[in-house]
Structure 1
Amino acid sequence: MPASSSKTTIDHDEIRQWAESRGGRPATVKSTEKDGEPGILRIDFPGYSGEGSLEEISWEDFFAKFEEANLALVYQEETADGEPSNFSKLVRRPDDMGGKKAKQGKSKSRKAA
């Protein structure tokens, strides 16, 4: 069986396409919202553990917070069995991906084994 691999990206279109192709929606952890602003970000997949604790937000609000918090998305296209994977994790943006200076139009994607 081939080993599954993850990718890391800051590209908004790539993130949105990956999430939506799996039924994922942008969300925030309800208990971390402050003054109407999103708190901790998540991608919510229907039927998973986020029910009740997550609140859907717009992609615009998601990416505004994503940039403000200097994040990147680590995600997996397929499981080791070749099935579509919903694995994702929001992490601090690696320095080689542009840090705070990255803009939506500047895509950097890399594979990590």
Structure 2
Amino acid sequence: MADTKLLTDHNHIRDWAAARAGQPALNDPTPGMPESEPVLSFAFGQHAYQDTDEGADRLGGVQPIEWDEWFRIFEERRLALVVSRDVPGQRDEFHELVRRP
């Protein structure tokens, strides 16, 4: 596994996502899992595009949301974002949300 770092600061998380053209999002809950909650994530590429005129904002179970809502859930669940350390010339999209230590 690549060298990683843990992010909890909202500005650092926004900067990390912006550098990869990522948008805050929710993924649909796991099918068949009782009481499963939507999962925080990021939408990259075509999933980051939201056409409000057409209402097509749930591509592949991904729902773009506002940063305020994303961070509200992030704090309620006491999460941290694990990302790869930046390597010059590369923009790795690896990320994982974990419970804070």
Q: TM-score when scaled to structure 2?
A: 0.72
Q: In structure 2, what residue type is equivalent to 1:91?
A: V
Q: In structure 1, what residue type is equivalent to 2:75?
A: E
2:12 aligned residue: 14
- Which ranges in structure 2 are unaligned for 5 or more consecutive residues? 31-36, 48-57
The CA deviation at 1:86 is 0.6
Q: Which has the higher contact order (CA 8 A, sep 6+)?
A: 1
RMSD of aligned alpha carbons: 2.5
Query: In structure 2, what is the Cα distance between the partners aligned to 1:78 and 1:10?
Result: 17
Q: Is the 8 A contact 1:77 1:84 kept in 2?
A: no
The count of residues paired between Structure 1 and Structure 2 equals: 85
1:86 maps onto 2:90 in alignment: no
Deviating runs (4+, > 6 A) in structure 1? none
The CA deviation at 1:52 is 1.5
- Which ranges in structure 1 are unaligned for 5 or more consecutive residues? 33-37, 95-113
Query: In structure 1, what is the Cα distance between the partners aligned to 2:89 and 2:2?
Result: 8
Q: In structure 1, what residue type is equivalent to 2:42?
A: I
Identity level (%): 38
